[in-house]
Structure 1
Amino acid sequence: MPFLSLSARPSSVRRSPLRTVVWVSIAFVLLALSAPAAADGHKARLSRGLAEAVGRGESRGVIVSGTAEQIRDLAARHGLVVEKTLATGAVVRVKDAAALSALAADPAVPVVADDAPVAAHMATEVVALGADQAWQGVLGLPGVNGKGIGIAVIDSGIAASHEALRRRVVASVDFVAGGRRGADPYGHGTHVAGIAAGDVTTGQGRFAGVAPGAHLVSLRVLDAQGRGTTSDVIAAIEWAVANRAAYGIRVINLSLGKPVLESWVDDPLVQAVEAASRAGIVVVTSAGNLGTLPDGTRVRDGITSPGNAPSAITVGAVDTQGTPQRSDDRIADWSSRGLTAIDGFMKPDVSAPGRRIVSAGSVGSALVGKAGAVVVGQGAATYVRLSGTSMAAAMVSGAAALVLEANPKLTPAQVKVVLQVTSQRVAEAGVAAAGAGEIDVAAAVAAARRRLQDLPPTTIAGETATRSGIAFTAKVDGDTLVWGDTLVWGDTLVWGHARVGRHVGLG
């Protein structure tokens, strides 16, 4: 039986001419080189939140455009200190609201841009997940980064020579005949590994996955075309279970899938996942990329195997629109929806960012070389942008590692509950698309250590993240619930306190 990787979706954007390997998640404001003619009532455009910050008494560095002479004149006119000179302008210090107002009213200033902190790639996703807060510590609790937690990546291999993955892969086993250890000719596993636990700091910035302190175990089951067999995947899962103590494996990432061809009780791949869960390993799977047909028709029952495994944490993909704020997040059209075929299980369990994710690229691999893939950098510093529930699953694997470091005693079922009840609903999506919601890592890590009812709401990118407060098992009873469009597929009743899920207290 052919085993297909269904979760990697190379970006349709053409190859980027970017010349750096600094993955920034802040959209820079392009500043005009020439100033507009003076006009009465002129008001420069301000970066969002800048006026409010200065109004609170925060002294801010701001970016204004112009030649060196224009900047000198501007600084003299307003009594500003030039902190940094740029090719197209300068950074000047604004000390109070009056100074900002005067600067914005100057006809020579079309835009006043906040000199905001710039983070390395994964900053958008890390902030959107609240993972950065987990690293730093939440509610006075110590920070976590996944240290001591092993993530087994069962995929196409991991290019261990990549700068973000060096010394992070503690074991590598190849289940593909003729394979070479430490290699990833397809490129999928390397990308997934970078999202889950990559970490590197260079002179150009930092690239960090969700759990940068976790270690990785590479179990290669897919060939150079991203194909493999069910038996190889099962063998890899069994290897992970047998060697879990030796390598500290607490999480398995399965960013791959095949069609659901039989009930879960008859599917040996699902049964292998269930056995791993009983052995104490959290198994994270991708939901699949079968949410729509080529003509845009919405597809139900598109969850792939082993995403239909009851114990697995099955993950749908969120489109963050390229921002860390959650108010504009939507479930990606192509992300597979539940219920599951044959058994009618409620899946996915949760959702996470999965569209246009930049992560480690394997040099010479099929995905890096594929037409349309956005590739930046070269050699051991190659990065590629991909989309898919594969990427979303890797986010959740990293999140699970953080939760387990926070509370190593949690069982796989408890880790799933923690991630579900602390998640946040996704607008315009019911549980059949988003599961319990988009994971909130900061809240999940805090809930792993304290009672849920004792936790205040978290704030992500300046917005309050309201917890969904629901958790559910895969099996849903009753035809009305399973097939009721309003309840399962809609945007309102599915988030009620009854029927689909119930509030779960962790105390």
Structure 2
Amino acid sequence: MKRYQSKLDPVISSKLKSSSKGQVPVIIRFKSNNMKTYNKIAFNMSDKVKYNLPVVRGLACKMDIDEINMISKDPNIEYISFDSKVFALMDIASKSVSVDFPVEQGFSGNDVTVAVIDTGVAPHSDFTKPNNRIIGFKDFINDKSTPYDDNGHGTHVCGIIAANGYSSNGKYSGIAPEANILAVKALDESGSGNTSDIVSAIFIKIRPSKL
């Protein structure tokens, strides 16, 4: 039993020891990119799979403890981790990252696009005037096509990165005030989401934003 335990992260192990009931969100990682093995397991679990995560050679799904215990014995499985919640928390901003320094060195972010995976982005005038720099938006939570932010954290982060100070006559601007924003909403209105949401959001095709 112990050799299989090494494939389980501590949260999963504790749930297994406690005989926890109900399904557990997990990320299953494979030892290699062997598509035959990958497809076989994915097919057998097709009704459970939330995401295919090729960037980490894995699958995100929900399984009960007995299923996790059984699949951990498969020699093709490298590791099974708990698909934990991640949270967006307001913290430090412009001064703590010396936002003025890059601009003073002549770097404005012109012709640079920054992808921000967070709670979304509000079409604030600091991003949309005098020209719209929110060039793409993807919503994993509510599947909306128009940029929005029902939490505020994503807009705050985008502001630190690329606000141009339009609404404050230049008083409050970001590190790269001419950069474009490609916003991905992978956290909900409470600022939370799963690890698999974030991993899946890294490799996606972005639709043009509609403002």
TM-score normalized with structure 2 length: 0.50
User: Max radius of gyration: which structure?
Assistant: 1
Bigger relative contact order (CA 8 A; separation at least 6) = 2
TM-score normalized with structure 1 length: 0.22
